[in-house]
């Protein structure tokens, strides 16, 4: 199925969120009773999802602070408030995937509209976005803080659809979700009749491992592979 019809790409897949989290919970992981990666993310994911659902207007840095402290308590690990706060403020230090900057530049140069639909707060996204500086800019940025709720709430996708229509004059059929999380992006996107491309990041766990029955419309192993495919389908190089 050709990718040529799509004109707007709705992103939340350029950042290596799990590596960023792991690098910033080192004080927990070095404790003798610390769990393996999969178990840690199982706990972190459940606490994060519940917190975002119960307090949809809490900004993401505060969500992460709460996630850190509750994760430590649930796993009987030692922590202090300063560590939790540092984790909450750590998003700007989280790395992008190595292929993301060049892929996004290629997509932008091909004339595609690049739109962020992210669960972060505005300040955290600004810091994260600086890691992608590569001669392009996102055409629109819709954060959870701006919308007042977190994905997978359908409110976030309604907001994106409405504002893409208003800002660019484009409709649902012009939009392609490009993401790693089946829970946060692909499954709710399908509920709004949006097509979705899954970027199958190696070892990704949160929002992925428990959702094997969620089938994307397209699938690629990297942003680089996806960018090459859609540009080719559109008749480019």
DSSP per residue, the chain: --STT--EEEEE-SB-HHHHHHHT-HHHHTSTTPPPHHHHHHHHHHHHHHHHHH-TTS-HHHHHHHHHHHHHHHTT----HHHHHHHHT-GGGSPBPTTHHHHHHHHHHTT-EEEEEESS-HHHHHHHHGGG-SS---SEEEEHHHHTS-TT-HHHHHHHHHHHHHHH---GGGEEEEES-IIIIIHHHHHTT-EEEEE--TT--TTTTT-TT---SEEESSHHHHHHHHHHHTT--
Mean pLDDT of 161-174: 97
Percent of the chain with pLDDT over 70: 92
Domain boundary among 92, 113, 128: 92
- 3 assigned to some structural domain: no
Indicate if 195 and 142 belong to the same structural domain.
yes
**Banded pLDDT at 134 (limits 50, 70, 90):** low
Indicate if 129 and 86 belong to the same structural domain.
no
**Active site residue: 12, 16, 27, 185, which one?**
12
Indicate if 126 and 56 belong to the same structural domain.
no
Which residues are CB-contacts of 117 (< 8 A; sequence separation ≥ 6)?
10, 11, 12, 142, 151, 156, 157, 160, 185
CATH code, domain with 192 = 3.40.50.1000
Domain boundary among 92, 112, 137: 92
Say yes or no to pLDDT of 206 above 70. Answer: no
Closest by CA position to 94, among listed 76, 72, 58, 119 = 119
Indicate if 185 and 103 belong to the same structural domain.
yes
Indicate if 107 and 73 belong to the same structural domain.
no
Comparison of pLDDT for 191 and 92, the residue scoring more: 191
**Banded pLDDT at 146 (limits 50, 70, 90):** very high
Q: Mean pLDDT across the chain, nearest whole number?
A: 90
Q: Answer for the pair 86, 24: CB distance below 8 angstroms, yes or no.
A: yes
Indicate if 137 and 177 belong to the same structural domain.
yes
Q: Answer for the pair 68, 82: CB distance below 8 angstroms, yes or no.
A: no
Say yes or no to pLDDT of 201 above 80. Answer: no
d(CA 172, CA 8): 9
Mean pLDDT of 131-147: 85
Indicate if 219 and 102 belong to the same structural domain.
yes
**Banded pLDDT at 202 (limits 50, 70, 90):** low
- 2 assigned to some structural domain: no
Say yes or no to pLDDT of 207 above 70. Answer: no
Indicate if 178 and 191 belong to the same structural domain.
yes
Indicate if 179 and 117 belong to the same structural domain.
yes
Indicate if 157 and 215 belong to the same structural domain.
yes
Closest by CA position to 64, among listed 38, 92, 96 = 92
**Banded pLDDT at 204 (limits 50, 70, 90):** low
pLDDT for the residue numbered 13 = 60
Domain boundary among 42, 72, 92: 92
**Banded pLDDT at 150 (limits 50, 70, 90):** very high
Catalytic residue check, 12 = yes
- 228 assigned to some structural domain: yes
**Residue owning tokens 């942003």:** 223
Where in the sequence is the domain holding 70, given as residue range(s)? 18-92
Indicate if 87 and 203 belong to the same structural domain.
no
- Count of domains for the chain: 2
């Amino acid at each position: 199925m050709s990718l040529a019809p799509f004109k707007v790409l709705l992103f939340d897949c350029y950042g290596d969120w799990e590596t960023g989290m792991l690098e910033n919970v080192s004080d927990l992981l070095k404790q003798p009773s610390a769990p393996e990666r999969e178990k840690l993310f199982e706990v972190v994911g459940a606490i994060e999802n519940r917190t975002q659902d119960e307090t949809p207007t809490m900004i993401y840095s505060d969500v992460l602070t709460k996630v850190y402290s509750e994760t430590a308590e649930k796993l009987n690990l030692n922590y202090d408030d300063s560590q939790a706060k540092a984790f909450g403020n750590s998003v700007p230090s989280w790395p992008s995937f190595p292929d993301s900057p060049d892929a996004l530049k290629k997509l932008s140069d091909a004339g595609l509209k690049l739109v962020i639909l992210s669960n972060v707060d505005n300040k955290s996204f600004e810091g994260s976005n600086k890691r992608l500086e590569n001669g392009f800019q996102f055409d629109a940025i819709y954060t959870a803080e701006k919308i007042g709720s977190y994905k997978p709430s359908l409110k976030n996708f309604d907001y994106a659809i409405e504002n893409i229509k208003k800002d660019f004059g484009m409709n649902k059929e012009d939009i392609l979700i490009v993401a790693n999380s089946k829970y946060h992006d692909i499954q709710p996107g399908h509920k709004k009749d949006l097509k979705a491309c899954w970027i199958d990041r190696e070892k990704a766990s949160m929002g992925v491992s428990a959702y094997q029955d969620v089938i994307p419309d397209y699938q690629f192993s990297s942003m680089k592979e996806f960018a090459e495919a859609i540009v080719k389908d559109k008749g480019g190089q």
